[in-house]
Amino acid sequence: MKPLYSRKDSPTRGRHLVASQNISENELIFEERPLLSLQSIGNAHRGALCCRFCRAFVGGPDLALLVASGKLGRENVWDYYHEKQEEYRIRNVNDDFCKAVCRMHPCRNDCGEIFCSQECEEKHWSCGGHDLLCTGLIPDPEDRAEDGVDTDESMHPLLQFKVHAVRSNEILLMVADLVASVVSLRRKQIALNLQIKEHSCVEEVTLEELMEPYLDFTLVPWWEVATAPIISDPKNIQECIQLNLNLRELCRTSSKLLYDAFMAIECDDEFHNTLCLAMNECQEKYHLFSEEFFGKVIGSFEQNAIGIRARHPLCRDILENSELRIRRHREIVKCIELAEMIGDDDDDDEQRGDEGNADDTENVTSNNENILDNEADDNDYSVDDIASFLSGLYLEEQGMPVTREINSESNIDDCNDDGEQVGDDLDLLFTPLDGTCMFHITCKMNHSCTPNVIARYSYSCSGGGEFARWGQDFPLVVQCVAIKDILQGEELCISYINHDAPFEERQKELSHYGFKCNCEKCKRDEVASGEESMQSDDNMENIEFDIFGEADDESQSCEDENDDYTDDDVTNANNDVDGQQKLTLRVKELDQTLEKNKIALIPVSTLGPPLSFVNRIGSQIMNDPSWTDSLHEYIEVKQLLGDVIKELSNKNFCSLQKHAAYGEGLAMSLLKKAREWPHSVVREAHACFCVASAICYAQDGNFLPAMKLLDKTAIFGVPRETIDRFYQYVEYHSTKMSCSHNEICRVPRVCIYDYSLVNLQREVLQKGLVAPIKYPVQELSHTSITRESSFGSAPIVIRQYASEWPALLKWRHLNYFLKSYSKRLVPIEHGFMFGGNTITEELMTIENFFQRHLNSSSNQICHPFIPDDSLDTIAYLAQHQLFQQLPELIKDVVLPHIFNGYDPIQINAWIGTGGTRTPLHFDSYDNIFVQVVGAKYVRLYDYSETKKLYVIRSNDISYARQGNMSAVNCEKEDYSLHPDSIDAEYTEVVLFPGDMLYIPSKTWHYVRSLTTSISVNFWC
C-alpha cells in the first residue's frame, strides 16, 4: 500500500500534509507512535500504570484496581509483582498465565520505572536515553542527608534536576528525554567507532540524523510563545518583560542542572570519556545544554505538542468480566467512593484535601489511605448492586479526538480536575492516561476551523480475553482519520481548538500559536462577529471535544445529570432485573452502538476476502464428515466455529472477537499438545479463528495483534494470496505502529561481519571446522554458467554465483529487517535433533529473535563445534517460507530460473545463530542452496551410501516417519554405534556469502553454521 498523504513545504503554509490520492470519509489515513511522550505527574499514582517506553497499559486489571482504589501505592507495585511471581512459582501456575497477569518488566537498576516487556526496557535503555536518566543506582537522599534532614544540595544532581522540573514545569522532563536520547546514542556511536576492528562494518548514525526529527518543527523560543497573546497590548509590556526573564532563567537553570547530572553519572573511564566526547560535540554543534536550545525546544512543544487522553482498559474489563467484579469487589467499591459517586460527600471532600494537585502526590496517596480506612464498610453493597450501578453509568465508547495543548502555564492535571470533565463516568472511576506527546507526522498538520481530519487515540473496545487490551501489542498510537471526503492534493488539517466556539474565543486561543486563522469560516464569522448567535457550518457534534478545554453545553449537561450520585443510586438500582442481567444488556447495547460506528473501519473492498474465507472454510469444516464422536476433544472447536460464522454473518464484531479469541487459543493448544499436525480440520479451524479475530482487531485499529494472528495463518500453511488485500492492509498499518519514527533508524547499525573478506574466511576455516576439508565438492566458476547449463547427479559449488544479489549487502544489517518487520511472528527452533527429539519450537517476533539470539551471536567471528549439551544459545528460523509471509524480501534475491529445467516450487529462508546443525537427511527435490550472510559447513553423501548411514525408521518419532533421516551424528560420529558409517564416502564444502551449492534430490546432506548465518534455498 502507498501512503495516503505526502509532506509539503511552502512559504505560506510551512510544513504541512496533503492527500496523495482521493480519501473517503471515515477512512484511516495513517497512525503514528510518539516521537516523545510525557505522562502527567501523579497520573500513575491514580491507577494509570503505563509502560515508560511505549505507553501501553501494564499490570493487568487486578493490579490496576489495587492502585486505583488506593489499596496499593504506585511505589509498591514491584513488591506486589515479585510477590505474585513467587506465588505462581510455588503453585506451579502456567508460565503464560503468569506473564499475562504480571505483564510488566522492571528497570534493570530498579529505579521504579515500569515497562510492558523486556524489549521495551532494552529499547528505552539503548535508544531512549534511560542509561543517562536512570536513578536506580543513586543512593537515597535520606542516606546522604545529615541528621536525617534532607536538602536539595545533598541530592545527586540528577535528582536535583528532576525535583526542579516537578516543582517548576514538568515539560522539562520531556526536554531531558530528548537531550538524553541524543547524547546517549551519540555516546554509543563514538564508543562503537573506537572499538571497530578492521574487518567490521559499522554504518554510522550521525549527530545530524539524531537531531533531525526534533529540529523539523518551527523553533520559536518559549518566552516568545508565552508572551505572544498579550504583547500587543501596551499595558502588558512589563508583564511580558518579567515573563520573558523568568522563562529564560528557568531554561538557563534547567540546562545547567541537566549538564551537571550527566557529568555526575558514576561509570567506568571508558563510559565517562565517550560521554564527555558526545556532550562536547552536542554542545558545540547544537548548544544542547544552553538556555537558547531549551527555550526553542519547549517553544516547539508548546506550539506543536498534542495532549494525551487514552482510555483505561479497565473501563471495558469492568463491564465484561464478571469474575473480575467478584474477585475485586472491594476495590471497585473503593473506586466508586473515591470518585464521589457514593458515600458522604462532605466527609470525602474534607479527607481528600487537594487530591487534584498533581504536584502533591504524597498527599494524594496518604489521603486515599485515610478515605479507605474511614469509609463505610463496602460490604453494604453486593456484587449485584455494583453491577446494576455500573449498568446505569453514562458511557462514551466511540473514542475521543485529540486536541493540542494551548496553555503553556497550566498543568495538564489541573485542567482535568477543575470541573471541566471530558469523557464519561468510567473515566472518573479509572483514570485515563494523561500527558503530552510530540508526533513526527501528526504535528505537521496545520489548523483549520473546518478540519477534514480528526486525530484520536486507538482503543480496543472488542473483547479478546481477560488481558486483551494490555501490554506491548497495544502501545499509545494516534490515528488520523478523514471526517469528510478529501480530494487528491487537498491539504490535511485538524483543529487545534474547539472550532465551534465563537469567533473571538477561537482567535484568542489560536493566538497562543502565533497566528490568526484566515479560513473561510473565520472570514465569514469576522463579518458577523457583532451578532450574538452563530452556528457552525459543519455538523461535528459527535467529535467536538477539546480535551484540555470545555465540553459543549449539551455534552456538559448530559454529564451533570450523571454526576449527582447517592448511595440510593446503588442500592435502589436493582428493582426489576438483577444487576448482572442489567449490565449484560448494557454491554450488548454498547456493542451494538460500536458496530454502527463508521470511523476508521476496514474498507469494504478489503474486508470482503477475509469474510468470504472464514465463511467458506468454516462451512466446509462444519460439513466435514470426518467430525465424528471419536473426535470428541475437537467438538468444542466445532461449536466455537459455528458461533464465529453466525456472528460474522450478522457483523456482530464485538461478540465475534470473544468467540474467535477463545477458539484460536483452544485450537492452538490442541496443535501444541499433539506436537505435530493433528486432524486437518483443527488446522483449518485455527486459521478461521485467526482471520476472524484479526478482522475484529483491525476494525478497532489495533493492527499489531491483528498482524500476529495473520502471521500465524501464514506459518501454519494458509496461502497468503487467499486474503492478500486484507493482509497488505494490516501489514501496512502494523508497520507504522511497530515503532516510532526514530526507534530503529537512530540506533547504531552494526553489521554482521563481511565473510567475503579473505582474512575472515581464513579464520573461519582455521577455527570453525572440526577437521580440515579433505574431500571437497566439485567447483565451477559462475562465469561459466549460462541459461542452457544443467547439472548431473553430483553436487556442485558455484562460487560467487549470487554476488550481485541486493540481499548480500542489505541482510548483513539486522536493522534492515527490524525497520519493517520487528513485530512479525516467525517460528524459531531451539536445540538439535540428535539423541532423540531434543528440539523445541516457539513463535516469537523477529525483534525478540534478533535481540535475544542473533545480536550476541553476531559479535563472535567464528563459532566452533558446539556439543549437544550446550543448547542455550542455539536459535534457528529453519526451512520457513519467509518470502510468502514477507513478499517484499523476494526483491533482494534473484530466482534461479536461468538453469535449464530448474524452476523453483518452494523458496525457504534459513536464519540462525552460529552453531545451528541440521542432521544428516535427504530431500525429494533438487536443491539450489545459496549462502547470503555468514558461513556454513555442508557434508554430502551419495544416495548409494544409504546402507551405511543407519536410516532411522520409526513411527514414534515425527521427523523420522518419512525414512529420510540418518542416526549418524556428523562431526561427532560414534563408530561403536554405527561402525559401517566409517566407510561411507562423502564430499564437503564451506560456503561463504554469494556461494551456491547444487544438491541433487535424495543426496544425503548435513549442515552446520560456522557463524551467524542467513541462507536461501530453492526446491526445484
Which pLDDT belongs to residue 408?
A: 31
Which pLDDT belongs to residue 559?
A: 41
Q: Is the pLDDT of residue 684 over 50?
A: yes
The pLDDT > 70 percentage for the chain reads 78
> Sign of the C-alpha dihedral, residues 436, 441, 443, 449?
negative
> Sign of the C-alpha dihedral, residues 847, 852, 856, 858?
negative
User: How do beta strands 478-482 and 28-32 pair?
Assistant: antiparallel
Which pLDDT belongs to residue 397?
A: 60
Residue 490's pLDDT band, with cuts at 50, 70 and 90, is very high
Helix axes 329-338, 383-391, angle to 10 degrees: 50
Q: Is the pLDDT of residue 864 over 80?
A: yes
Which pLDDT belongs to residue 254?
A: 96
Which pLDDT belongs to residue 701?
A: 86
Q: Is the pLDDT of residue 158 over 70?
A: yes
What would the mean pLDDT of 168-194 be, rounded to a whole number?
Answer: 92
Q: Is the pLDDT of residue 365 over 50?
A: no
**439: nearest Cα among 38, 166, 43:** 38
Residue 180 cell numbers, joined: 538524553
Which of the two residues, 381 and 565, has the higher pLDDT score? 381
Asked whether the beta carbons of 624 and 681 are under 8 A apart, the reply is: yes
Which of the two residues, 505 and 914, has the higher pLDDT score? 914
Which pLDDT belongs to residue 191?
A: 86
What would the mean pLDDT of 351-372 be, rounded to a whole number?
Answer: 37
Q: Which range in 232-241, 268-277, 463-472 is most confidently predicted, on average pLDDT? A: 268-277
**319: nearest Cα among 391, 383, 384:** 391
Residue 555's pLDDT band, with cuts at 50, 70 and 90, is very low
Rounded to 5 degrees, what are φ and ψ at 653? -70, -30
Helix axes 237-263, 291-304, angle to 10 degrees: 110
The pLDDT mean for the chain works out to 80
Which pLDDT belongs to residue 870?
A: 59
**How many CB atoms are closer than 10 A to CB 715?**
16
Q: Is the pLDDT of residue 558 over 70?
A: no
- Point out which residues pair with 30 in neighbouring strands: 480
Which of the two residues, 679 and 437, has the higher pLDDT score? 437
Q: Is the pLDDT of residue 907 over 80?
A: yes
Which pLDDT belongs to residue 92?
A: 63
Residue 1's pLDDT band, with cuts at 50, 70 and 90, is confident
Which pLDDT belongs to residue 143?
A: 52
Residue 203's pLDDT band, with cuts at 50, 70 and 90, is low
What would the mean pLDDT of 763-776 be, rounded to a whole number?
Answer: 92
Which pLDDT belongs to residue 785?
A: 66
Polymer length in residues for the chain: 1020
Asked whether the beta carbons of 243 and 223 are under 8 A apart, the reply is: yes
Give the distance from CA 62 to its chain's centroid. Answer: 23
Rg of the chain in Å (alpha carbons): 31
Residue 608 cell numbers, joined: 470482503
**How many CB atoms are closer than 10 A to CB 721?**
11
At 586-624, the pLDDT tens digits run: 888 887 777 777 677 788 889 889 999 999 998 888 887
Residue 933's pLDDT band, with cuts at 50, 70 and 90, is very high
Residue 470's pLDDT band, with cuts at 50, 70 and 90, is confident
Q: How far apart are CA 38 and CA 412, in angstroms?
A: 11
Rounded to 5 degrees, what are φ and ψ at 149? -105, 115
Q: Is the pLDDT of residue 706 over 80?
A: yes
Which pLDDT belongs to residue 28?
A: 92
Which pLDDT belongs to residue 994?
A: 93
What would the mean pLDDT of 374-398 be, rounded to a whole number?
Answer: 75
**How many CB atoms are closer than 10 A to CB 369?**
14
Q: Which range in 566-580, 627-641, 843-857, 858-872 is most confidently predicted, on average pLDDT? A: 843-857
The helix (run of H) or strand (run of E) holding residue 203 is strand 202-203
Residue 897's pLDDT band, with cuts at 50, 70 and 90, is low
> Which pairs count as long-range contacts for 314-317, CB under 8 Å and 24+ apart, including other chains?
314/47, 314/61, 314/64, 314/65, 314/68, 314/426, 314/429, 314/430, 315/426, 315/427, 315/429, 315/430, 316/397, 316/460, 316/461, 316/463, 316/469, 317/61, 317/466, 317/469
**689: nearest Cα among 656, 723, 725:** 656
Q: Is the pLDDT of residue 361 over 50?
A: no
| Range scoring the smallest mean pLDDT among 250-264, 399-413, 552-566 | 399-413
Asked whether the beta carbons of 301 and 171 are under 8 A apart, the reply is: yes
Which of the two residues, 903 and 169, has the higher pLDDT score? 169
Which of the two residues, 76 and 297, has the higher pLDDT score? 297
Residue 128 cell numbers, joined: 531512549
CA angle, 998 then 1000 then 1001, to 5°: 140
Residue 550's pLDDT band, with cuts at 50, 70 and 90, is very low
Q: How far apart are CA 664 and CA 476, in angstroms?
A: 26
At 58-80, the pLDDT tens digits run: 988 888 999 999 999 888 888 88
Q: How far apart are CA 918 and CA 895, in angstroms?
A: 24
Residue 748 cell numbers, joined: 547504531
- Point out which residues pair with 434 in neighbouring strands: 309
Q: How far apart are CA 274 and CA 272, in angstroms?
A: 6
Q: Is the pLDDT of residue 426 over 90?
A: no
**How many CB atoms are closer than 10 A to CB 991?**
25
Q: How far apart are CA 393 and CA 431, in angstroms?
A: 16
Eight-class DSSP state of 217: S
Q: Is the pLDDT of residue 919 over 80?
A: yes
Q: Is the pLDDT of residue 904 over 80?
A: no
| Range scoring the smallest mean pLDDT among 49-53, 718-722, 948-952 | 718-722
Q: How far apart are CA 928 and CA 831, in angstroms?
A: 25
Q: Is the pLDDT of residue 312 over 50?
A: yes
Residue 423's pLDDT band, with cuts at 50, 70 and 90, is low
Residue 305 cell numbers, joined: 505538542
Q: Is the pLDDT of residue 552 over 70?
A: no
Q: How far apart are CA 415 and CA 315, in angstroms?
A: 22
Q: How far apart are CA 984 and CA 1005, in angstroms?
A: 13
The pLDDT > 90 percentage for the chain reads 38
At 634-659, the pLDDT tens digits run: 778 888 899 999 988 888 887 888 88
